[in-house]
Amino acid sequence: MTSPVVLITGALTGVGRATAVAFAKEGAKVVVSGRRQEAGESLAAELKSLGTEAEFVRADVRYEEELKNLVDRTVERFGRVDVAVNNAGTEGELKPIVEVTKEDFDLAFETNVLGTLMGIKYQLRAMAAQGSGSIINVSSIYGLMGAPIGPLYVASKHAVVGLTRSAALEAARAGVRVNAVTLGAIETAMHDRVMGSEENKAAFAATIPQGRPGTPEEAADLIVFLGSGRSGYITGQTITIDGGKMAGN
Ligand SMILES: NC(=O)c1ccc[n+]([C@@H]2O[C@H](COP(=O)([O-])OP(=O)(O)OC[C@H]3O[C@@H](n4cnc5c(N)ncnc54)[C@H](O)[C@@H]3O)[C@@H](O)[C@H]2O)c1
């Protein structure tokens, strides 16, 4: 089989970056995107050094035209798009509902929900035209349950789950699968920001049955699986990777 063509949003750090490296190691052609040109070009160079083709396309996922451009550039360069990972996300400011503002709402929903929705819109058009594809949306265990902090993050990640299920139904007959990964704690900059201190991180880790956060590479392995033909009969699902955390809820 020819190398699949993969695009990833928010690919410059954390889970997105690990996913780009994992796909590159599998021999996929990888289009990485994010908001920082220099860091993006340096990641593309790193992926090429793994022996595959790679390109950086700048995209802020809050803007529909930038997500359209990302798909257009991918198809122009590589002729198709087999796998799309809507990974970019923000935790925003973690405030209680009694303190949130319209600006907080706009940041969380424009990044996490609109960014995923408009990503799917153009990815699905391209994949439907070629008759195959796999879209993976990065949600959270807080897309499946509430949390005492970050109501806008929780609500926006629930919305990603809803979009995933609806898109899967719309896309199935076109040969396109759409799934979400619902991540528990994964050791990234976002996890550090949300936890705030080493003490909080240790206390949270103690609530995870496996006793530790996951690594970005472990999350990436699941995403690579969902992008591959080995998951060909899986669509419309949320697949959780959380060290057992949800099993106790
Ligand atoms: N780390 C965790 O514990 C955890 C848990 C559940 C879900 N997630 C989700 O995993 C995904 C990846 O997060 P991460 O943990 O790697 O953290 P991260 O902060 O390293 O990665 C998020 C990436 O998204 C990018 N991004 C944010 N807003 C953007 C925008 N408007 N346009 C383009 N890119 C934008 C950031 O610059 C960053 O590179 C996110 O969707 C996050 O919500 C993470």
- Would you state the pLDDT for residue 2? 82
Which is the catalytic residue, given 63, 142, 153, 233?
153
Averages of pLDDT over each 10 residues, the chain, 249 residues: 92 98 98 98 98 98 98 98 98 95 98 98 98 98 92 98 98 98 98 96 97 98 98 98 93
Pocket test for ligand 1, best of 12, 58, 90, 200 (most atoms within 8 A of CB): 90
Give the CATH number, domain containing residue 44. 3.40.50.720
220 CA from centroid of ligand 1 (Å)? 13
Question: Can you give the length of the chain in residues?
Answer: 249
Give the count of beta carbons closer than 10 Å to the beta carbon of residue 76. 8
Cβ–ligand 1 distance for 185 under 6 Å, the answer yes
- Is residue 153 part of the annotated active site? The answer reads yes
Q: Which atom of ligand 1 sits closest to the CA of residue 187?
A: 1
Contact assessment for residue 81 and residue 75, using Cβ atoms and an 8 Å cutoff? yes
Does ligand 1 come within 6 angstroms of the Cβ of 16? yes
CA–CA distance, 167 with 172 (Å, rounded to integer): 8
Find the distance separating the first CA and the last CA of the chain, reported in whole Å: 42
Residue 249's pLDDT is what?
A: 73
Tokens, residue 110: 């424009």
Number of domains in the chain: 1
pLDDT of amino acid 128:
98
Q: What angle do CA 211, 202, 96 make, to 5 degrees?
A: 110
Strand partners, 55: 31
Q: What's the number of CA atoms in the CB half-sphere (13 Å) around residue 88?
A: 33
The domain in which residue 220 lies consists of 5-248
